[in-house]
């Protein structure tokens, strides 16, 4: 009797197909909630401790005070890349042609070379963890460096300076906005980053796991995730949500604008989600963060949300279409001084932590991910 497995045809996009097991987290779309290793992700985001959540994903547990301090120091020591990598970034960024995401994609192999990185298949668990932390820790500074260079600033203005005692998020914001951020901005961006560290087997996370299943090195895995994230259907919506608010301009123009977009068959950026059939819990969290800032822009966003959801219910009855994480993320990041072109890179900064955790998990499984396809004649 043959032991071959008979292939089955999966739905388009593999929607609803379970392809792996994970202990990193889960998205319960019908319930409108998600968690990281059993801990409510929204509650972790409200606490605003980025390194503590990072420890949970990378090392598997929430640290006590002493472990949290050691972890903060450990990732801080990995934050500034080696001199050879800083020189590479300075040269690559000089023309200003590379976006921060493309710049990070080009720099990760250079960082791998400087570190002497090897295939994950050839490393033990401790070595893999060090690789995961090193690449995730260096990512924020590299992203900020390309942004700074495109704006005529020194990519790494403080390479010799001790890492900020305020942590990864404060250090990133200082480099991006060009000044020491206030505590409210640090907490708001931390909440956003923690809320977006991981979110099920999305396109970029699946990509990193496929590459990791081949035994490739950490840089290749994360670079693949960045490639998936660069697509506008995955990581590019936050700035587009603000484009809609710019086009509207004032509350009285919201309804005509939204009706016009729906009549033209255009998608309302920042609305709807592939998994949630209720309100996106990340959007609810960031809406509250935005309300804490207040002001005309936040009032416009709230009015836009109310009108758009009402008209979407009329236009597509029976479908639950609410704001997703990108909508209020855009408002919050703008309030914190993050420039629009850095919205997706900031998202990538969070996801790199999640991707690297998934890479570690996948690397423990020696089975390569190798699905089948069905040939259809042209």
What is the DSSP track for 284-332?
A: HHHHHHHHHH-SHHHHHHHHHHHHHHHHHHHHSTT----B-HHHHHHHH
CB 136, CB 352: distance < 8 Å: yes
322 an active-site residue? no
**Domain annotation for the chain: domains and CATH numbers:** 38-233+343-363 (1.10.580.10), 237-335 (1.10.230.10)
Q: Considering 326, 334, 358, 361, which one is annotated as catalytic?
A: 326
Comparing CA positions, the residue from 271, 203, 222 lying closest to residue 13 is 203
CB 336, CB 176: distance < 8 Å: no
Residues 6+ away with beta carbon under 8 Å from 6: none
- Residue-level pLDDT at 71: 97
Q: Considering 273, 305, 322, 358, which one is annotated as catalytic?
A: 273
Check residue 373 and give left, alpha or beta (phi > 0: left; psi -120 to 50: alpha).
beta
Check residue 294 and give left, alpha or beta (phi > 0: left; psi -120 to 50: alpha).
left
Helices 168-177, 343-363: inter-axial angle, 10-degree rounding: 150
CA distance 251 to 263: 20
- Residue-level pLDDT at 157: 83
- Residue-level pLDDT at 1: 43
CB 181, CB 346: distance < 8 Å: no
Per-residue pLDDT of the chain (378 residues; tens, 9 = 90+): 445 566 777 777 787 788 889 999 999 888 889 999 999 999 999 999 999 999 999 999 999 999 999 999 999 999 999 999 999 999 998 888 899 999 999 999 999 999 999 999 999 999 999 999 999 999 999 999 999 999 999 999 876 566 667 899 999 999 999 999 999 999 999 999 999 999 999 999 999 999 999 999 999 999 999 999 988 777 666 788 899 999 999 999 999 999 999 999 998 888 877 777 778 899 999 999 999 999 999 999 999 999 999 999 898 887 878 888 889 999 999 999 999 999 999 999 999 999 999 999 999 999 999 988 888 888
- Residue-level pLDDT at 325: 87
- Residue-level pLDDT at 328: 93
CB 189, CB 346: distance < 8 Å: yes
Three-state DSSP at 30 gives coil
Residue 72 CB burial class (10 angstroms; 0-12, 13-18, ≥19): buried
Exposure string (b/e) for 96-112, b if CB count within 10 Å is 16 or more? eebbbbebbbbbbebbb
326 an active-site residue? yes
């Amino acid at each position: 009797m043959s032991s071959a497995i008979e292939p089955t045809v999966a739905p388009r996009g593999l929607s609803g197909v379970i392809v792996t097991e994970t202990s990193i987290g889960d998205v319960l779309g019908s319930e409108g909630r998600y968690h990281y290793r059993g801990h409510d992700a929204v509650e972790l985001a409200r606490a605003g401790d980025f390194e503590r959540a990072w420890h949970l994903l990378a090392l598997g547990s929430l640290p006590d005070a002493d472990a949290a301090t050691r972890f903060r120091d450990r990732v801080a020591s990995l934050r500034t890349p080696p001199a050879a990598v800083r020189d590479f970034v300075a040269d690559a960024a000089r023309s200003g042609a590379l976006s921060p995401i493309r710049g990070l994609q080009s720099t990760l192999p250079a960082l791998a070379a400087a570190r002497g990185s090897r295939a994950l298949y050839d490393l033990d668990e401790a070595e893999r963890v060090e690789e995961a932390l090193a690449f995730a820790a260096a990512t924020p500074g590299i992203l900020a460096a390309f942004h700074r260079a495109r704006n005529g600033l020194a990519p790494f203005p403080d390479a010799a300076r001790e890492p900020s005692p305020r942590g990864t998020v404060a250090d990133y914001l200082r480099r991006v906005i060009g000044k020491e951020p206030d505590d409210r901005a640090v907490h708001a961006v931390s909440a956003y980053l923690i809320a977006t560290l991981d979110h099920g087997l999305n396109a970029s996370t699946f990509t990193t796991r496929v590459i990791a299943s081949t035994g490739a090195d950490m840089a290749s895995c994360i670079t693949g995730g960045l490639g998936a994230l660069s697509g506008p259907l995955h990581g590019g919506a936050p700035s587009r949500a603000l484009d809609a608010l710019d086009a509207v301009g004032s509350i009285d123009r919201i309804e005509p604008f939204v009706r016009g977009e729906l009549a033209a068959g255009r998608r309302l950026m920042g609305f709807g989600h592939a998994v949630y059939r209720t309100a996106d819990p990340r959007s609810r969290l960031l809406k509250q963060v935005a309300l804490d800032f207040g002001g005309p822009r936040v009032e416009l966003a709230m009015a836009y949300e109310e009108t758009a959801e009402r008209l979407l219910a009329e236009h597509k009855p029976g479908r639950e279409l609410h704001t997703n994480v990108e909508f209020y993320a855009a408002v919050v990041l703008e309030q914190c001084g993050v420039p629009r072109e850095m919205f997706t890179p900031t998202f990538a900064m969070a996801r790199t932590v999640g991707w690297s955790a998934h890479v570690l998990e996948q690397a423990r499984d020696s089975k390569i991910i190798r699905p089948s396809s069905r040939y259809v004649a042209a």
